[in-house]
Amino acid sequence: MSATRLRRAAAAVALLAAQARAAVPGVKAKQELAAAIRSYQRLDLLRALDGFDAAMKSFPGWKTGAGYRAECRWALGEQAGARKDAQLAATLQPNDARSRAARGKARLILRDYAGALADFRAAAQADPNLVDGPLGEGSALSAQGDLRGSLKALDAAVALDAGSAAALLLRGSVKSRLGDFRGAADDYAALLSVNPKYAWAHYHRGKALRDLKDFPGADKELTAFLDAVPDHEDAAYLRSNVRFLIGDYQGAADDLTKVISLDPRNGLAYSNRGLARAK
């Protein structure tokens, strides 16, 4: 072989090696993804999204990263972005537990519940210590209405990682749907010990305590939520009901005035405000 051909062959081999290296995320991208996943598990969603964006910037087109970012975007209400990421991640050919979980997250968003369930169970088999497996299984089963099966999977997720605010949030929701309001309230309290800034846990805990007829406790939780999200109509209406039941008629009337300012056509709010003012 001539010297020219040898040089060309060597250059081709070098190019193929560089392409192979480029096809695998580097250490920086992997670290960014891992940090973002930790933030998501704490339900520190904005920080998590920044981390997922950084990982995807470090390794553009990363399907595993897209699957995890899709879940985060969905939780933040960015449905169009979540679906775009999910469509990319759904084309994954998984080769480890995390990539299986990522495809499961994508399939869940795209409502392929059977495919998502299979992926999450495969992720759990590949790595029994990865919380995404049972957490994802619980999500998929909950979406299909299998609450008992979902609860079993979520119990396993919390057993793996008691600090997973994401698992505690979903388990609290499932328990509430099953009528276990005490268990739900306890899960939301545990979530707040992990992430005290996650205001929605106060809202959900307030609802659970209302169902338990712990009206002072419900008032406290709903007040904490409304301090963070002052224009939430349902929370203001629920707190008005709780305050009426504990005899705080002025507070109930004030809450209903807030509800009316948010929705002037809410006839029931006018009626209930009249009752509160009559006390």
How many domains would you assign to the chain? 2
| In a shared domain, residues 91 and 227 | no
| In a shared domain, residues 169 and 129 | yes
91-119 pLDDT per residue, tens = 999 999 999 999 999 999 999 999 999 99
Report the percent of the chain where pLDDT is more than 90: 91
Residue-averaged pLDDT of the chain = 94
The amino acid at 213: K
Helix and strand totals (H; E) in the chain = 16, 0
| In a shared domain, residues 52 and 113 | yes
189-231 pLDDT per residue, tens = 999 999 999 999 999 999 999 999 999 999 999 999 999 999 9
Examine the pLDDT at 268 and tell me if it is beyond 90: yes
Look at residues 163, 196, 229 and tell me which one is the last residue of a structural domain. 196
Between CA 203 and CA 209 the distance in angstroms is: 10
| In a shared domain, residues 56 and 129 | yes
Between CA 242 and CA 239 the distance in angstroms is: 5
6-28 pLDDT per residue, tens = 555 444 444 344 444 447 899 99
When pLDDT is averaged across residues 165-179 and rounded to a whole number, the result is 99
Q: Which helix (H) or strand (E) holds 213?
A: none
pLDDT band (50, 70, 90) for residue 5: low
Look at residues 196, 228, 257 and tell me which one is the last residue of a structural domain. 196
Residue 162 makes CB contacts below 8 A (sequence gap 6+) with 190
Q: Is residue 5 part of a domain?
A: no
pLDDT band (50, 70, 90) for residue 4: low
pLDDT of residue 13: 41
Listed residue (244, 231, 235) closest to 275, CA to CA: 244
When pLDDT is averaged across residues 39-62 and rounded to a whole number, the result is 98
pLDDT of residue 23: 79
29-47 pLDDT per residue, tens = 999 999 999 999 999 999 9
Q: Is residue 19 part of a domain?
A: no
The amino acid at 34: A
65-90 pLDDT per residue, tens = 999 999 999 999 999 999 999 999 99
| In a shared domain, residues 246 and 132 | no
Q: Is residue 234 part of a domain?
A: yes
| In a shared domain, residues 167 and 231 | no
| In a shared domain, residues 113 and 125 | yes
Domain encompassing residue 209? 199-279
| In a shared domain, residues 177 and 220 | no
| In a shared domain, residues 208 and 80 | no
When pLDDT is averaged across residues 138-162 and rounded to a whole number, the result is 98
